[in-house]
Amino acid sequence: MMALFRDVAPWLKLLLRRRQQFWLGALLVWVTLLAGLSLLGLSGWFIVSCALAGIALAAGLPSTLDVYVPGGGIRFFALLRTLARYVERLYNHSTVLTLLADLRYRVFGDLTGLDDATLKRQRASEWLSRLTADIDQLNNLYLRCLIPPVAALLTVLVVSGFIAIWLPWVAVVMALVFTLLWLVVTVGFGWIGFGNSYQHVSDQEELRRLVLDQVQASAELRSYQTSGWHRQKIQNLEAVSTENQRRLALKLALGNAFVSAVTGLMLIATLWLGSLAFSAEQVVGPVLVMAVIAVLGMNEVFALLPAAFLKLGASYAAVQRLNALKPLAPVIDMQGLPYRADEHAIQLVSVHYAYPNTMYPALVDVQATLLPHTRVVITGVSGSGKSTLASVLMGRMAPTQGEIRVAGVPPHRLSTESRAEYFAFLTQQTDLFDGTLESNLRIAKPSATDDELWRVLNMVGLEDWVAQQPKRLSTNVGEKGQQLSGGQARRVALARLMLRDPSVVLLDEPFASVDADTAKHLAAALDRWLARRTVIFFVHQTEDAALLAGIDAWWHLDGGRLCTDTTSFSQPQAGAPYE
């Protein structure tokens, strides 16, 4: 129980940041429940009073009854219940949607802080499920496990106190029985259904993964003649999941039956104790009927609680997965650090990096020092470790052994803001979003003026093309830049990079997907923009060494080992081997 509370506490704190909305939502639920009970109780009292008055008049006995006040009360509670229910649903669902947006913002922030190795261990669809399915499970905490129990407990206290005016012993028994029932359907049913609901979430995630594998890897499964085996695996898991859901549904049915049974027994107890009071002339018949009907209406108060708390395990499973998204903890801010030329060098000391569950390390004993304002080219074939080295230099991953210092501090310890300000990285993969050209560029600098956007577009040779488009800067690039050619998308990404003012720039195949003339234009623009910056080019090989102007050293990465020779630099010709 303590572990559950410890894991859930951070998310409850995040939910309860909007505590005013929470209490107002709980108040609306409470008013709705009280209006319904008041309507039942007053209607029962009014019907019996009218019946008794009619019997008295038929028997020739004097009898009076004010039908206007209770009739008005019945109309008032009927309208109040309807209005409160509508406002409660509208307000609480609006609040929940806002809370889910807060949660998704928090989780997305955690995802952006994860290192590259962690992100690559899961599919994009599985990370998406963290933002959708797992967050939706937390909806159960707020909408079903927080507000209804609070409203139910307050309703028990108010109704018991009201009945105590005429039937004190009935009120005492009612308060004790319904308080125990409240504990059973919250704590008890939360414990009873915990394992099944927890397993349900795991089964659904595994099923989702297997079905995606069946679709996305269908060609491979057919080629290895394992499609039938894989489908059978899905069917077996479906059978197990269905059985688990059947057990959960059975417990839910038992929970509803238990609530109805306790409410029915309390109804009998109220009739018995009330009849004793009626025989002793301590209470009149209409009041007794009002108390009995109020007890009957308590079934509605507790009806939703078993289903909510039986799914507590599912919410906890989602919380555990979300808690596992622990990003690297940045603690250092570059602002305010004194500038020293030696501190702004890049130093790699015996750097090793090994991905989990791999036989060979990606980086092995990398030793290098890159002085400020110098340019280095690192070559290597695919799989030699270039992307890993870039991620480690960017602070996206911490080395498993050794030490990296950029500006005197480990890059993975930098705050996200400092890292974004200090570094710029053009990756091999071009990431553009479904939006306008302008919005994709302003990701790098939201305050950029139109003149600045046109300037960087000119630097990458896209100014004339954009000027010819009907919507110019408002031209839509499409999802993942699919409205652009590969070379255009690459240059848009480079233009976005040039809007920033970083100290260290990493460029991975900057001239990929462009023709020779465009590459020369980009090289000249890059040469001017990279002045007074520390630069590392990652390339497979140089077909035209003239594109990489002002290079101070050529390094080579082979099997995770970095070969450096910065003491005697000679620029290679096109196609020549590297030293």
What residues does 557 pair with on adjacent strands?
562
| pLDDT over threshold 60, residue 570 | no
43 sits in which H/E element:
helix 19-58
- Supply the pLDDT for residue 195: 87
- Supply the pLDDT for residue 512: 76
Name 439's Cβ contacts closer than 8 Å, sequence gap at least 6. 433
- Supply the pLDDT for residue 333: 55
Ordered by where they begin, the domains of the chain are 2-323 (1.20.1560.10), 346-563 (3.40.50.300)
pLDDT in tens, 341-380: 445 578 788 888 887 777 778 888 888 888 888 888 888 7
Residue 508 near residue 538 (C-beta atoms within 8 A): yes
Residue 545 pLDDT class (50, 70, 90 cuts): low
pLDDT in tens, 200-259: 888 888 888 888 888 878 888 888 888 888 889 989 999 999 999 999 999 999 999 999
- Supply the pLDDT for residue 331: 57
Residue 145 near residue 315 (C-beta atoms within 8 A): yes
- pTM exceeding the 0.75 threshold for the entire prediction: no
CA angle 359–362–367, rounded 5-degree value? 130
Name 292's Cβ contacts closer than 8 Å, sequence gap at least 6. 44, 267, 270, 271, 274
Instruction: Say what angle helices 516-529 and 486-498 make with each other, to 10 degrees.
Output: 10
| For the chain, percent of residues with pLDDT exceeding 90 | 13
Residue 339 pLDDT class (50, 70, 90 cuts): very low
pLDDT in tens, 426-482: 877 777 777 887 888 887 777 878 888 888 888 878 777 888 878 787 787 777 767
Residue 576 pLDDT class (50, 70, 90 cuts): very low
- Supply the pLDDT for residue 369: 80
576 or 27, which is more confident: 27
573 or 101, which is more confident: 101
- Supply the pLDDT for residue 357: 74
Instruction: Say what angle helices 450-459 and 486-498 make with each other, to 10 degrees.
Output: 130
Scanning the structure block, which residue is given the tokens 């018991």?
160
Distance (Å, whole) CA 125 – CA 132: 10
Q: Phi and psi (nearest 5°) for 123?
A: -75, 160
| pLDDT over threshold 70, residue 329 | no
Please choose, from the candidates 511, 496, 490, 424, the residue with its C-alpha nearest in 3D space to the C-alpha of residue 456.
496
Mean of per-residue pLDDT scores for the chain: 80
Query: Residue 492 has which token pair?
Result: 């848009």
| pLDDT over threshold 50, residue 3 | yes
- Supply the pLDDT for residue 183: 92
- Supply the pLDDT for residue 79: 94
Distance (Å, whole) CA 77 – CA 84: 10
- Supply the pLDDT for residue 124: 65
SS (H, E, C) 131-158: HHHHHHHHHHHHHCCCHHHHHHHHHHHH
Distance (Å, whole) CA 562 – CA 541: 15
